[in-house]
Structure 1
Amino acid sequence: MPSTKKTLHFISSALVTAIAVGLLGYGMSAQWAVIKMDCARGGSDLYNGSADITLGLFNGILTRTSCPVFGNVDSFEVITVLMKTTDTVPAVLQGLVVCLLALCLLFSVGSILISLYNSVSNPYETYMGPSGVYAFSSLSACGGLVAVIIFALNMILTTMAETLVENFSQSIPLDLRNKRTVADVGLYLLIPYIVLSLGAIGCIYAYQSAAYTHKREQQRPTEDAPKDIMMF
């Protein structure tokens, strides 16, 4: 059986990762960004309309005012709508974000299982030991960070928002400008997810560091003994 100290450290790691999974699961179902744009009919200099997009990973809501007609609210599936357009880059990037986060969930579950296994047994230093927690938690943190970067680039550098608005314009040409993007709760929840994934690594590292220090202290009396006594 493992020591009480080891059990506590590995259970703490599993608990921290479980909280991270809960945050990520909620974040994936929440809204990720709000995008606002000024709108005018094609060829007109009068930007008296607006288009607001509340965007999640899977679904979104588009609210239009005089863009091109007054008072339209449309719900849509993000990737489905984007795949119908000629520019598939936003759809591919959105799908990549979803896939990365799904992998993050899988890696986090793997970290939890390995931590729980180590809390009740003494496995060898293999992928089922601390190195497994390091690997899975590191992949979770890195995957979450890459997902944040890709999502932000998709919002800022591509014409994803404009494409979504034009898809519901009933084939009426539009001019869109002054795009403003504000991050929402789903995107923000990835930050504590990344921090908690790294925290799980910290729990295991603290145990290994304490175990190594204890081992060195046990060896020190022999190392510090006088040479003549050691020879005797």
Structure 2
Amino acid sequence: MPSAKKALHFMSSALVTATSVGVLGFCMSTQWAETTMECTTKGSSFSNGSAVVTLTLFEGNMNRILCPLFGGQDKFQVIPKLAQTTVVTPIVLHTLVVCLLALCLLFSACSILISLYNSVSNPYETYMGPIGIYVCSSLSACFSVVALVLFVVNVIVTSMAEDLVQL
């Protein structure tokens, strides 16, 4: 039977990690970016409309107001729509962001499983102990930061929103 201190330590670790998984899951389902662009004809400085592109991780919404020819609202799946563009960089970066976030969830799940196993194991036996929890949790945190930076780079540096409006 594990000691109360050991069980409390590892159970609280599992609870905190489960809470962080819930926060990560919620953040993966919310709006990630919104871009507003003015549409102009070539060689003219006169704006004849605008387009607002709103992106979540897997779905997007495009609201065109007289851009490029007529207005309209369009819902789309992000990865298939990016695959229709001729530029490869935005789809590669977006797919990499999704894969990194999946790895975040995987390492968080490993951290929870290690914590739960250690909370009920023998008093003098631990599987990877606190080091395993630290490694899994820090990998999850690092991957989530890299995913956020890559998404921002993808939206700001590449012409992802402009390519989506033109389709």
* Interval containing the TM-score (normalised by the shorter chain): over 0.9
Q: Which residue of 2 aligns with 1:63?
A: 63
Q: Secondary structure at the match of 1:31?
A: coil
Q: CA shift at 1:2, angstroms? A: 2.0
Q: CA shift at 1:134, angstroms? A: 1.1
Q: Which residue of 1 aligns with 2:50?
A: 50
CA distance in 2, matches of 1:49, 1:120: 63
**Structure 2: unaligned runs, 5 residues or longer:** none
CA distance in 2, matches of 1:38, 1:5: 61
Q: Which residue of 2 aligns with 1:150?
A: 150
Deviations 1:23-44 (A, max 9, x none): 1112212211111111112232
Alignment of structure 1 residues 20-39 onto 2, 5 Å:
20-39=20-39
Q: Which residue of 2 aligns with 1:118?
A: 118
**What letter is aligned with 1:40?**
T
CA distance in 2, matches of 1:92, 1:13: 35
Identity of aligned pairs, percent? 59
Deviations 1:48-93 (A, max 9, x none): 3111011011110000111123421011111111111111100000
Would you say 1:90 and 2:90 are equivalent positions?
Answer: yes
Q: Secondary structure at the match of 1:112?
A: helix
Q: Secondary structure at the match of 1:67?
A: coil
TM-score, structure 1 normalization: 0.68
**What letter is aligned with 2:3?**
S
TM-score, structure 2 normalization: 0.94
**Structure 1: unaligned runs, 5 residues or longer:** 168-232
CA distance in 2, matches of 1:96, 1:148: 11
Q: Secondary structure at the match of 1:69?
A: coil
User: How many pairs were matched up?
Assistant: 166
Structure 1 residues 120 and 135: alpha-carbon distance in aligned structure 2, compared to 1, 3 A threshold: same
The 8 Å contact of residues 114 and 127 in structure 2, kept in 1 or not, is answered as no
The 8 Å contact of residues 14 and 112 in structure 1, kept in 2 or not, is answered as yes
Q: Which residue of 1 aligns with 2:161?
A: 161
The two structures, once aligned, show a CA RMSD in angstroms of 1.4
CA distance in 1, matches of 2:68, 2:137: 48
The 8 Å contact of residues 117 and 127 in structure 2, kept in 1 or not, is answered as no
The 8 Å contact of residues 50 and 65 in structure 1, kept in 2 or not, is answered as yes
Q: Secondary structure at the match of 1:20?
A: helix
The 8 Å contact of residues 118 and 126 in structure 2, kept in 1 or not, is answered as no
CA distance in 2, matches of 1:8, 1:124: 15
CA distance in 2, matches of 1:131, 1:9: 13
The 8 Å contact of residues 17 and 111 in structure 2, kept in 1 or not, is answered as yes
